[in-house]
Amino acid sequence: MGISQLASSIAESPTLKLNEEARILREKGEAVVHLGIGEPRNKTPIGAVLSSAVKLTQGDVKYSPTDGNPSLKKAIIRYTEENYDKLAAPENVIVSSGAKQSLFNVLYTLLNPQDEVILLAPYWVSYPEMVRMVYGVPVVVTPEDGTFQPRMQEIERAVGPATKAILCNSPNNPSGVLYPESFIQALVEFCERRNLYLILDDIYHKLVFDGRHATSPYRFSRRDLDASNLVVVNGVSKLYGMTGFRIGWAVAGRRLVEVMTNVQAQTTSCSSLVLQAGAEGALNGLQSTVESLRLTIQNNRDVMMQELKSFPDVRVAKPDGTFYCLPDFSAYNRDSVELSRFLLKKALVVTVPGKEFGMEGHLRLSYAGTIKDITEGVARMRWALDPTAPPEIYLGDRKCVREWI
Ligand code: PMP
Render pLDDT for 364-392 as a digit per residue (tens, 0 to 9): 999 999 999 999 999 999 999 988 887 77
Q: What per-residue confidence (pLDDT) applies to 405?
A: 45
Contacts of 169 (CB under 8 A, 6+ apart): 123, 124, 200, 201, 202, 203, 204
Q: Give exposure, 327-358, as e/b (b: 16+ Cβ within 10 Å).
A: bbbbebbeebeebbebbbebbbbbbbbbbbbb
Check if the beta carbon of residue 263 is closer than 8 Å to that of residue 255.
Answer: no
Left (φ > 0), alpha (ψ -120 to 50) or beta: where does 272 sit?
beta
Chain CA centroid to CA 171, Å: 9
In the predicted model, residues of the chain with pLDDT beneath 50 are 404-405
For ligand 1, the distance from its centroid to the CA atom of residue 125, given in whole angstroms, is 10
Nearest ligand 1 atom to alpha carbon 102: 16
For ligand 1, the distance from its centroid to the CA atom of residue 39, given in whole angstroms, is 10
Q: What per-residue confidence (pLDDT) applies to 398?
A: 67
Contacts of 189 (CB under 8 A, 6+ apart): 220
For ligand 1, the distance from its centroid to the CA atom of residue 203, given in whole angstroms, is 6
Q: What per-residue confidence (pLDDT) applies to 397?
A: 65
Q: What per-residue confidence (pLDDT) applies to 402?
A: 60
Check if the beta carbon of residue 232 is closer than 8 Å to that of residue 252.
Answer: yes
Q: What per-residue confidence (pLDDT) applies to 25?
A: 85
Q: Which helix (DSSP H) or strand (DSSP E) does residue 169 occupy? A: strand 163-169
**How distant, in Å, are the alpha carbons of 99, 170, 249, 385 from that of 79?**
16, 18, 12, 46
Q: Given ligand 1 and candidates 101, 124, 148, which is best to mutate, with the most ligand atoms within 8 Å of its CB?
A: 124
Check if the beta carbon of residue 359 is closer than 8 Å to that of residue 174.
Answer: yes
Q: Given ligand 1 and candidates 95, 102, 237, which is best to mutate, with the most ligand atoms within 8 Å of its CB?
A: 237
Nearest ligand 1 atom to alpha carbon 172: 3
